[in-house]
Amino acid sequence: MPPRTLTIFLSWVVAGTLVIITAGRLLHLDDVLSWPYSGINAFAPVEYLPAYVALAAAFALRRNRLLVVSLLAVIAHLAFTVPELWPGRPEAVPAGAAKVRIMTSNLLYTNGDAGRLGAQITRARPDIVVLEEATPLTLDAVTKSGVLDGYAYREAHPRPDPFGVAVFSRFPLVQAELPMVADLPSLRMTVRVDATRQFRLFAVHTVSPTSRDYAARWRRQLDALRAEAALSPVPVVFAGDFNATRDHRPFARLLDERLRDAHDVAGAGWTPTWNANHLALPPLLRIDHVLASPQFAVTGYQVGDKIGSDHKPLVVDLALR
């Protein structure tokens, strides 16, 4: 096949495929087909990049119909990603608000180097530490670093699989519960900030939607969190590994329950947290989140350093009005 013909053919494949993916997303086919759309939509920030090559080829080779289709894919990419990439600044601390710094980190359940998180806890000095994939191995590694000794309140539920979870807090923790949602634990508790202010904290770790069965369970977990947010009589904070990006419909519906993504409020820009331990590629997806009710101002947002896990830690500053 001549190079010109091959270029046109490949450009049509790229542009046509991306337009079909875009149509499916706009028509909310991911509500009908959790899989494979859970995988396809996750990589929206990067999977549309070949559209720019197709657009350049169409322009150079003067293929008008290919130019139009490629341009549609590029416009879709910009519409989906610019809101996340647009820079901003955190909110100011409201007068009289109670400051709460939260760190969340997926330790990776086989990570013998999880104790490296200790140095970041020492630097950040969070009020609350939420740990996912807390196994006897990973939790012991962090505990041995000594940084958790100053946290008087804790809810630790390690497991040998990836779904152990632990919360360490300088504030009192009460009404802790560990119900099973889609056959996996869902830890939540009430945090008493002071005599008059409290909020409900959810330590989140959903299953990764990498198959039809897992995608269905993942959707049920996110839908359950949405229901909890709607029913809570006090402000809520969801912190952890959602295995979801802003391009996933179940995650977007969760935000619809008057929750704010700390990243978006702070205008933190391109700050992916996964896959942090890949040898060849940089992190590509932002699947670790802190979501909070409007009663919280988001006054800080930062992504931590690598700790041997496939996730980077996340530190968020909140101020409860």
Q: How far is the C-alpha of 60 from the C-alpha of 66, rounded, in Å? A: 11
Q: CB neighbours (10 Å) of residue 102?
A: 24
Lay out the sheet containing 198-205: strands in order across. Answer: 173-177, 187-192, 198-205, 236-241, 288-292, 260-261
Q: How far is the C-alpha of 101 from the C-alpha of 316, rounded, in Å? A: 6
Q: How far is the C-alpha of 160 from the C-alpha of 135, rounded, in Å? A: 5
Q: What is the pLDDT of residue 32?
A: 82
Please provide residue 244's backbone torsions phi and psi, each rounded to the nearest 5 degrees: -145, 145
Residue 316 in contact with residue 293, Cβ under 8 Å?
no
In DSSP notation, 68-91 reads HHHHHHHHHHHHHHHHHH----PP
Residue 246 in contact with residue 256, Cβ under 8 Å?
no
| pTM, to two decimals | 0.94
Which structure tokens are listed for 40? 């396809």
Q: How far is the C-alpha of 111 from the C-alpha of 107, rounded, in Å? A: 7
Q: What integer best gives the mean pLDDT of the chain?
A: 96
Strand-pair partners of 174: 190
Q: What is the pLDDT of residue 24?
A: 92
Confidence of residue 154 (pLDDT cuts 50, 70, 90): very high
Residue 206 in contact with residue 222, Cβ under 8 Å?
yes
32-48 tens-digit pLDDT: 888 888 999 999 999 99
Output 253 or 34, whichever has higher pLDDT.
253
Q: Does the pLDDT of residue 225 top 90, yes or no?
A: yes
71-86 tens-digit pLDDT: 999 999 999 999 999 9
End-to-end CA distance of the chain: 66
- Lowest-pLDDT choice from 1-5, 121-125, 170-174, 201-205: 1-5
Q: What is the pLDDT of residue 56?
A: 98
Q: How far is the C-alpha of 108 from the C-alpha of 308, rounded, in Å? A: 8
CA distances from 92 to 97, 236, 265, 302, 321 (A): 10, 20, 11, 16, 12
Give me the mean pLDDT over the 189-207 stretch: 97
Confidence of residue 52 (pLDDT cuts 50, 70, 90): very high
Phi-psi group of 269: left, alpha or beta (phi > 0 → left; psi -120 to 50 → alpha; rest → beta): left
Q: Judge if the upstream peptide bond of residue 83 is cis by omega within 30 degrees of 0.
A: no
Q: What is the pLDDT of residue 270?
A: 94
